[in-house]
Structure 1
Amino acid sequence: MRPDHDDSPAGLRRRTLLLSLLAGGCAPDTPVLQGGWVGTHPERGHRLRGPLPAADGPLRKAGVLIVGAGIAGLGCARALAQRGIDDIALLDLEDQAGGNSRGHQLAGSPCPLGAHYLPLPGEEAREVSELLHELGLARSRLGRTEWDERQLCHSPQERLFIDGEWHEGLLPPADDAATREQYRRFADLVAQAQREAGFAMPTRRARWTAAHAALDAQPFSTWLDRAGLHSVRLRWYLDYCCRDDFGADAAGVSAWAGLHYFASRHGFHAPGDETAEREPVLTWPEGNGWLSARMAEPLRERIHLGRSVLRVAEGRHGIDLLAWNEAADAPERWQARAVVLATPLFIAARLLAAPPEALRRATAQLSHAPWLTANLLLSEPLLTRPGAPPAWDNVRYGTRALGYVDARHQSLDPTPRPPLLTAYLALPTARRAELLNQPWQHWAGVVSDELAQTHPDLPAKLVRADLCRFGHAMSIPTPGLRSSAALTALSEARGRIVFAHADLAGYSVFEEAYTAGVTAAARLSL
């Protein structure tokens, strides 16, 4: 948010009142702002806070129950099905599979509700690579991987608003020799970490050493201070990167996580580096909802949506599960030989009648970032600002917000249509209650205020705002978390109940979630 943004209680009340007036049409010539909350139902998750209902109703059975139909749960089900295990049921409290990777429709156009891109996988992410080949996004030819060009992000890819105009790319331009030297210094340190320590995506494919543990023990901001990296522009950029992938800035994540962001992929390239290439990414109008929809389609008969799981108990002859059927407004009993808990770990700890000690310890170490996604339909194009042309990803320098993507950037339809923007906010954990309790008009105002800093004409052109809130969107890799012996134990656990979630890696990205699901399938005792 901008520095002069009034976040006092009085300021919040004033903004909510103004947006409420706008939404209600306070004058005959005032447009009515349409919109509301979409995609998530916090009240369903909060059923875990209340007393358990009586476990009655018919008993349903499955060989394997997967709790959670996000990327990890879908990945686990795909892996089991490929092994010929088809007696599977997936239960999810939402009305659409995909977790943080779901799509939405606004004014007849697809747009993302959460994650909106996937970097091309490296050699360690072999499960993800296999998935992309199976979905027809890639093919092997003469020992090389060829990607479907239609699914790669179209140019222009990224731009940053700084010094009164748009600049290509998100790294702030170096405004003096000292900043250029800081950029080169950080690039050298990332390359050194790649060579000497080693990083991988998924993270557990890299051998964990004392060097990693030392990085993990300190905040990224402390490591940067000790390295003499004080450039305001570099530090803002690194804070932005950490919020984008981890939900917290450099002071809130470990040095291991901050370096992992770059070293596990394509490094960091200072301006003027002739070897630098922009990291190619796969993206779609609905973001990673394109992927989750295609993963879910072959499993559609096995996915049971609107099921809020309340209790999982292991017995002598099987595992009993109690769920609440949201459509029927009634309890539902299930029994299975094995269960995969593809939920955030703190949810798994609440579900299990007897959670293992490793799960208790891991849950105590984890913290999660709240997240807001706002899909904004405009009545007409925004006015052009100086500099680089409109891009897929658009960010304002100096903000704590994550900018917006153009949901129609990938569309091949030449028909002129009003803009459809998807804005992202990674919020401090202290604002979780505000996210859950304030009306959608309040948050539409927060987003509109932010984007008005680069597009002053946007508020007057805003027609509809569909907002999606995630109270616990992503695990924050705080100092010491990646070194957790409890997370390692849960990642390797075998038996009739296993865990599959990106939380096991200490941070939330598609590669980690999908790999966790596939590997969990192999650890089940069936």
Structure 2
Amino acid sequence: MGQGAAVTDRACGVTRRMLLAGAALPWAGCAPPPGVTGALMGASAERGHLLRAPRPGGAPVAGGKVHVLIAGGGVAGLAAARALRARGIEDFALLELEDTAGGNSRGGEVSGIACPWGAHYLPVPGDDAREVQALLEELGLRRRVAGRWTYDERHLCHAPQERLYIDGQWQEGLLPVLGVGATTLSQYARFASRVESLRRADRFTIPAPRNAPAAHRALDALSFARWLAAEGLDDAHLRWYLDYCCRDDYGAGAAEVSAWAGIHYFASRHGFQPPGAEGAERDAVLTWPEGNAWLTRALAAPLGDRVRTGRVVLRIAEQRAGVEIDAWNAATRAVERWQARHCIVALPAFVAARVVEQAPPALRLRAGHTRYAPWAVVNVHLREPLRDRGGAAPAWDNVLYGAPGLGYVDARHQSLDPRPGPTVLSCYRAPGEAARAAMLARDWRGWLGEVVDELSGPHPDLRDKATRAEVARYGHAMAIPRPGTLGLPGAADAATARLSFAHADWAGYSIFEEAFTLGHLGAGRVR
């Protein structure tokens, strides 16, 4: 293309001062110049909203009769299918609303370059995530060598992994260190000490325990921001970093998520490493240009035509001899009626509560408490690599201090080809609950304008090198682990003789390990 999204800061009302101050950027409506193309991708809000409309008329047509029907084809639903097959249960079908399974872990290509539509990495799992470890062994990513577990280095994130743009230059790592004073460093050390003491007192694990200890429940009773204030941790650099971490993992800031969630982010994995701390290197992560779609495609591949896409589950009714499931077929525009001995409900809690007739009280409680963060991934194709500001070298994950967005990952970072070439930047946005309706109404031009404006500081040549933007939007991307989440009933509490439940919502926060484990547990209740 050559000209890129030639929108100016003045035309869109954005100034460098606003960016560096972290003020909320206006949603740019600036049109890109001729030659820049784009599209909206990701979740189909139109199909999802069929659940709010009057039920389509006409008598249902026969869908099928199976031993087990899985409602929902995200990570939990795919994990449930894998677990059924491991038990020798092959008579099942999986109904998925979208045209491909994978949920928030899907991906695609922009101008021939693979990129994620959602989740883009998986931390190397600890021993508590045994089901995930088994999957990685099955896929050839993990194996034992000379008595030690090793991971295929081709799939581990290549160095450098992270960098932060602050004060006009790039630094290594995301914790601000450039120009910070003694007070900031002291608070970094104090927060690290508190995380470590809490971790030693009561283990934080992934997956989280289904019966949280009393200390975790105490942290869950208040917001992370309130806990930090009580601890006297008020340094601006520290608070920005902690808020960024919460928005990055949970889609909401420290004022919205619980103190348990804020501590769990660090204590369940790598701790919090202040500058100069011994062993400060981050844990390894597995990643691919298409993100976690690499994993969900591998899970879906052996299922064949048992995966029925383009089905909107409208009704799940438990009966004496089985379960009756009605689903709208987007291709035939007819309601299908399925019969099953057992149904694994791998749907978000708010959807499950709507479609399950006589929903169990545990499901109603979970759905009533859970709020959801909207999310968008703006994949921008570049005809050639960007020039770089001074400081740390280009990394896989690149974040701007004080910016509304969550930074970008470079699809080419994992490439073994040393020659420079076109790439895709996957730019992550978590605009907040209040922005849900407006974000779904925006076209790709507005998203591209917002990203170009935000990244123009470190990358002024982005405007001239962008050729295409594809935007994946999720109105209800992930459950927000609000205060009180640990006190809610779990999936086992909602299970009945014919129904089991499996979705990351039952953990209270959305990560691969939780969804995958819950899928296995849901399948384990099938008789």
Scaled by the length of structure 2, what TM-score is found?
A: 0.93
Structure 1 window deviating more from structure 2 (49-58 vs 301-310): it is 49-58
Cross-structure match for 1:168: 172
**Residue 44 (structure 2) aligns with:** 41
* Cα distance in structure 2, aligned partners of 1:31 and 1:329: 37
3-state SS of 1:60 partner: strand
The percent of aligned pairs where both chains have the same amino acid is 54
The residue that corresponds to 1:449 in the other structure is: 453
Partner amino acid for 1:222? R
Q: Deviation digits for residues 34-56 of structure 1, max 9, x if unmatched?
A: 01101221100000011112342
Question: Is the 8 Å Cα contact of residues 494 and 523 (structure 1) preserved in structure 2?
Answer: no
Per-residue deviation, 1:415: 4.7
Is 1:505 the counterpart of 2:507? The answer is: yes
Give the aligned partner of residue 333 of structure 2.
329
Deviations 1:471-507 (A, max 9, x none): 00000000111222x236547x352111100001100
Is 1:198 the counterpart of 2:203? The answer is yes
Q: 2:479 aligns with which of 457, 475, 479?
A: 475
Rounded to whole Å, the distance in 2 between the matches of 1:453 and 1:331 is 51
Does the CA contact (< 8 Å) of 1:55 and 1:322 recur in 2?
Answer: no
Give yes or no for contact 1:219–1:253 (8 Å, CA) kept in 2: yes
From the superposition, tell whether residues 228 and 82 of structure 1 become closer, same or farther in structure 2 (CA, over 3 Å): same
SS at match of 1:69: coil
**Matched pairs, number:** 508
- 1:68-126 C-alpha deviation (Å, 9 max, x unpaired): 11110000000000100000100101011111111111111111000000000011111
Q: Give 1:358 shift.
A: 1.3
Counterpart of 2:521 (choices 512, 519, 522) is 519
**Is residue 492–residue 500 contact of structure 2 (8 Å, CA) maintained in 1?**
no
Provide the secondary structure at the position in 2 that maps to 1:267: coil
Deviation at 1:143, TM superposition (A): 3.4
Match of 1:389 among 374, 379, 393: 393
Letter in 2 for 1:38: M
**C-alpha distance in 2, partners of 1:102/1:74?**
12
Instruction: Report if aligned partners of 1:323, 1:331 keep a CA contact under 8 Å in 2.
Output: yes
Residue 34 of structure 2 corresponds to: 31
User: CA 1:7–1:185 in structure 2 vs 1: closer, same or farther (change >3 Å)?
Assistant: closer
Distance 1:275 1:459, change over 3 A: same
Which residue of the partner structure matches residue 25 of structure 1? none
Which residue is equivalent to 2:3?
A: none
CA distance in 2: counterparts of 1:248 and 1:7, whole angstroms = 15
Given the alignment of the two structures, is residue 71 of structure 1 paired with residue 85 of structure 2, yes or no? no
Counterparts of residues 69-468 of structure 1 (less than 5 Å): 69-173=73-177, 175-204=180-209, 208-468=212-472
Tell me which amino acid in the other structure corresponds to 1:190.
Answer: V
- 2:512 partner amino acid: F
Q: CA separation in 1, counterparts of 2:127 and 2:98?
A: 33
- Maintained 8 Å contact 1:118/1:283: yes
- Matched residue type, 2:441: N
Whole-Å Cα distance in 1 between the matches of residues 212 and 451 of structure 2?
A: 40
1:166 shift after superposition: 0.3
Which 5+ residue runs of structure 1 have no aligned equivalent? 23-29
Q: Which amino acid aligns with 2:422?
A: P
Query: How far is 1:419 from its partner?
Result: 2.5
- Could you tell me how far apart the structure 2 residues matched to 1:93 and 1:354 are? 22
Q: Structure 2 counterpart of 1:152, which letter? A: L
Q: What is the distance in 1 between the residues matched to 2:154 and 2:493?
A: 39
With over 3 angstroms needed to count, the CA separation of the structure-2 counterparts of 1:488 and 1:3, relative to structure 1, is farther
Q: Which residue does the alignment assign to 1:4?
A: 18
Shift of 1:3: 7.0
Secondary structure of the corresponding residue to residue 81 of structure 2: helix
> Quick check: 2:385–2:420 contact (8 Å CA) kept in 1?
no
Check 1:358–1:55 CA distance in 2 against 1; reply closer, same or farther (3 A cut): farther
Contact 1:182 1:229 in 2 (8 A): yes
Contact 1:490 1:504 in 2 (8 A): no
Q: Which residue of 2 aligns with 1:27?
A: none
Distance in 1 of aligned mates of 2:147 and 2:238: 38
- The amino acid of 1:195's aligned partner reads R
- Give the aligned partner of residue 6 of structure 2: none
Distance 2:316 2:154 in 1: 44
1:32: how far off?
2.3
Distance in 1 (alpha carbons) for counterparts of 2:181 and 2:344: 54
**What is the aligned-residue RMSD (CA, Å)?**
1.7
* Contact residue 159 and residue 395 of structure 1 kept, 8 A: yes
CA distance in 1, matches of 2:69, 2:490: 22
Which amino acid in the other structure matches residue 203 of structure 1?
A
Question: What TM-score do you get using the length of structure 1 for normalisation?
Answer: 0.93
The CA deviation at 1:141 is 3.0
- The DSSP-based 3-state class of the residue aligned with 2:413 is coil
Deviations 1:225-260 (A, max 9, x none): 111111111110000000011111111100000000
Distance 2:17 2:360 in 1: 45
Say whether the 8 Å CA contact 2:346–2:502 is kept in structure 1. yes
The amino acid of 2:510's aligned partner reads S
- TM-superposed CA distance for 1:224, in Å, is 0.6
**Aligned counterpart in structure 2 of residue 496 of structure 1, from 474, 498, 502:** 498
Q: Partner amino acid for 2:18?
A: D
